[in-house]
Chains A and B, each alone.
Chain A
C-alpha cells in the first residue's frame, strides 16, 4: 500500500492568494515570530502589572485607612493583580518568548518541536491573560478578604488563570522537548548551552508544578460555581490556596533561566570559557530541585503548615549557596576576562551581572524569611522576596532580549537606551524590595488592607519606607517603558550582522559547524587561531 503522506505545496501556484499580514501573524508557526509575540505581549502585561503594583504601593502611604481605592477589597484586587500579572503575565511569558525564539537555534534544531502546539500555547496564554485582566477589572480577581467581589468575575479570572497556565505549560512542553529530542548529532545533553539547559530544568518543573496550581484553581472554580461555596471557592480562601505560586521557593523555578542567560552572555563578552560547564549544569539543576514542592505549603495540612517544617527551611537556606556557586563561577570568568570588556561593557553584560546580584539578594531574603522566630512569613518581606527574585528574572530577560535581539529580529537596538531601561528597572526593584524587607521586620503585613494593626508602626519608619517603595515602583515602571521603547526602536534599526558579539554557541553560526564541546564556535575560532 502506498503512503499517503505528501509534502505541503509551498510553491504558491497560480490563483493562490497570499495571506494578509494579520492572517500570517495569527497562523504562523515560525518560532522566531511566536517568540517575539510572547515577548511583546508579556511586555504589555508587564506595564499593566506594574501599574497595579504602583497603585497598591500608593495606597500603603495611607496606612490608617483606604484612601485611593473604594474599599480594602478593591485594594486587595490590585495588590493580587500585581503579583499574578508580574509573574504569570509578564516575566514568565517574556522568558518563554526568549526561549521559544532562541533555544531551537542554540541546540541546533531546525525549528521548535511541535511548532503548531507552540503557537497554540501562545494564543491560549494570550486569551487567558486578557480574561484574567478583565476579571480583575470588573471587580473579580482571585477573591477578596471581605468577600466583596463579584462571583461571576472571580470565576472569569479563574478561567483566565487556567488558560494562562495551560498556555505556559504547552509552550514549556515544546521548549523542553526541543532540548531533549531536537538536538542534532554531536550535541549531547552535557554540551547544551546553559540557557537551554536551565530552560530544560525550569520547563520540566513548570510542567510539574503549574498543573498543581491549575488543580487548586479548578477546585476553587467548581466550588465557587456551586450555590454556597463550601471551602475552596470561598472568596476569602482563594488567594490562600494559590499564593504559593508567587512566593519562595516557586519563584526560584520561575527565575532559574536568568542563570542561563548570564552564563551564556558573560563568557562571550569576557572571551573566556567557564571554569566547569558540567558543574554548572549540576548546580543549576539542583537549584531547580530546591525550588520544587512549593505547592505543599498552604493546603495539604492546615494544622501543621509546611512552612514551619524542616524541609522548607532547608530548601530556603540551600538556595543561597547554590546560587552563590553559579555567581562565583561567572564572577571568576568575568574577572579573568575583564581586559576584554573594554571601558564600557556591553549593556547585556551589565544587566546580567545586576540580575545575578538581585537573585542573590532574593535568596538571602528567602532564607531569612524562613527563620521561624523572626515571624516574617506573613510580613511584607514575602513581597520583597518575590520582587527581588522576579525582578532579577525581569532584568535578565531585558539583558537576554538585548543580547539575542539582533539574531531573533535581525535589527540593531539602541543598546544605551536598553541599558538605561534596565538600570532603572534594577534601581526600582531595589527601592521596592529593600524597604519592604525592612518594613517586614517592623511588623508591616504582606497585605495590610484597612487594618491598622497589620500596618506595623505607621508613625515610625514604615511610612517613610513605604514612600521609598512608591518611588521604586515608579522607577520600575519607567524602566519597563524604556525597555519596551528600545524594542520599538529596534524594529526601525539598521540591519544587524549575523554574529555581533562573536558568540560561542550555535545560534550565532553562519554555516555548518561540528559540535565538539559546549562552545562549538569558540572551538572553531581556537582552531584557526582567531
Chain B
C-alpha cells in the first residue's frame, strides 16, 4: 500500500469568545467579591459591638433555599445544553437552553416577590442597603444571562449553534455558572448566616 501524505491539520481556532467571556465574568466576580468583602467585614464589625445586623426574623431561609435549588438545577440544564450543542443535538439544546432560561426567570420572579414582602426599607440600616444592592445586582446578572440564553435560542433556531460554533454556548455556560456561584455566597452569607 502506498504511503499517503495527509494534509497538515488546520490550526486550532482561538477561542476568543470564551476568553473574552472569561475576562468579563472575572470582572463581574470581582464586583461581587468587593460587595461580599465589604458585607462580611461590616457585618463582623457590627456584631462585634453586640449590635444586630438584620432584625430578628426579617430574613427567611425558605425563599433563599428555593432560589438556591432553582439555580442548582439550572447548572445541570446548562451543562446539558453545552453537551447537546457539542453533539449537534438540536432538539435537546433547544430544550436545555429554554429550561435554563425559565429557571433564571423563575429565580428573578421569586426574588422580586419575596423582596416586595420582606418589610425592610432600603434605608433601614447598612445591612439592608447591602441586602438590596447585592441581591439586586445578582438579579441583574441573572437577567443578562437570560437575555444571552434568549439570543442563543434565536441563533439555534437559525442553525448557528452547532458543534463547530459552540463557543457562544460555552461562554454563556461559563457566565451562568458564575451567576450560580455568586448565589451560593448570597445563600450562605445572607439567608443562612444572616
Interface contact A204-B133, CB-CB below 8 Å: no
A174, A207, A223: the one contacting B27 at CB < 8 Å is A207
Residues of chain B within 8 A (CB-CB) of A222 are 122, 129, 132-133, 136
Interface contact A212-B34, CB-CB below 8 Å: yes
Interface contact B31-A4, CB-CB below 8 Å: no
Decide yes or no whether A500 CB sits under 8 A from chain B.
no
A173, A181, A211: the one contacting B15 at CB < 8 Å is A181
Q: Known contacts being A4-B159, A207-B26, is A177 close to B16, with CB within 8 Å?
A: yes
Interface contact A173-B20, CB-CB below 8 Å: yes
Nearest residue (CB) in A for B33 is: A212
Instruction: Tell me the complex Cα distance, A299–B70, Å.
Output: 34
Instruction: Tell me the complex Cα distance, A219–B41, Å.
Output: 15
Using an 8 Å CB-CB cutoff, how does the interface string of B32-49 with A read, 1 for contact, 0 for none?
111101100100010000
Decide yes or no whether B126 CB sits under 8 A from chain A.
yes
Residues of chain A within 8 A (CB-CB) of B23 are 173, 176-177, 204, 207
Interface contact A173-B27, CB-CB below 8 Å: yes
Instruction: Tell me the complex Cα distance, A299–B35, Å.
Output: 11
Decide yes or no whether A114 CB sits under 8 A from chain B.
yes
Interface size class of B (residues with CB under 8 A): 35 or more
Residues of chain A within 8 A (CB-CB) of B129 are 219, 222-223, 226, 230-232
Residues of chain A within 8 A (CB-CB) of B160 are 3-5
Q: How far is the CB of A169 from chain B (nearest CB, A)?
A: 6
Instruction: Tell me the complex Cα distance, A479–B21, Å.
Output: 40
B19, B32, B35, B137: the one contacting A177 at CB < 8 Å is B19
Q: How far is the CB of B44 from chain A (nearest CB, A)?
A: 9
Q: How far is the CB of A227 from chain B (nearest CB, A)?
A: 5
Decide yes or no whether A311 CB sits under 8 A from chain B.
no
Instruction: Tell me the complex Cα distance, A173–B31, Å.
Output: 15
Interface size class of A (residues with CB under 8 A): 35 or more
Interface contact A218-B137, CB-CB below 8 Å: yes
Q: How far is the CB of B128 from chain A (nearest CB, A)?
A: 8
Interface contact A3-B159, CB-CB below 8 Å: yes
Decide yes or no whether A303 CB sits under 8 A from chain B.
yes
Q: How far is the CB of B98 from chain A (nearest CB, A)?
A: 19
Nearest residue (CB) in B for A180 is: B19
Residues of chain B within 8 A (CB-CB) of A212 are 30-31, 33-34
Decide yes or no whether A295 CB sits under 8 A from chain B.
yes
Residues of chain B within 8 A (CB-CB) of A211 are 27-28, 30-31, 34
Instruction: Tell me the complex Cα distance, A378–B16, Å.
Output: 44
Instruction: Tell me the complex Cα distance, A23–B105, Å.
Output: 37
Residues of chain B within 8 A (CB-CB) of A180 are 19
Interface contact A214-B31, CB-CB below 8 Å: yes
Decide yes or no whether A530 CB sits under 8 A from chain B.
no
Using an 8 Å CB-CB cutoff, how does the interface string of A196-214 with B read, 1 for contact, 0 for none?
0000000010011111101
Decide yes or no whether A1 CB sits under 8 A from chain B.
yes
Decide yes or no whether B50 CB sits under 8 A from chain A.
no
Residues of chain A within 8 A (CB-CB) of B33 are 212
Interface contact A219-B38, CB-CB below 8 Å: yes
Q: Known contacts being A207-B23, A230-B123, A301-B41, is A181 close to B159, with CB within 8 Å?
A: no
Decide yes or no whether A10 CB sits under 8 A from chain B.
no
Of listed A174, A204, A211, residue having the most chain B CB within 10 A: A211
Decide yes or no whether A501 CB sits under 8 A from chain B.
no
B26, B37, B90, B132: the one contacting A208 at CB < 8 Å is B26
A2, A207, A219, A302: the one contacting B133 at CB < 8 Å is A219
Instruction: Tell me the complex Cα distance, A102–B32, Å.
Output: 33
Q: How far is the CB of B95 from chain A (nearest CB, A)?
A: 17
Residues of chain B within 8 A (CB-CB) of A1 are 90, 159
A–B complex contacts, Cβ < 8 Å, 6 sampled: A181-B15, A216-B34, A219-B35, A219-B130, A230-B125, A231-B126
Interface of A toward B, CB cutoff 8 Å: 1-5, 113-114, 117, 169, 173-174, 176-177, 180-183, 185, 204, 207-212, 214-216, 218-219, 222-223, 226-232, 295, 299-303
5 nearest A-B pairs in the assembled complex, by CB-CB distance: A226-B123, A215-B34, A211-B31, A212-B34, A181-B14
Q: A173-B23, A212-B34 are in contact. List 14 more A-B contacts (CB 8 A).
A: A2-B159, A177-B20, A182-B16, A207-B23, A207-B27, A211-B28, A216-B34, A219-B129, A226-B122, A230-B125, A230-B129, A231-B129, A300-B41, A301-B41
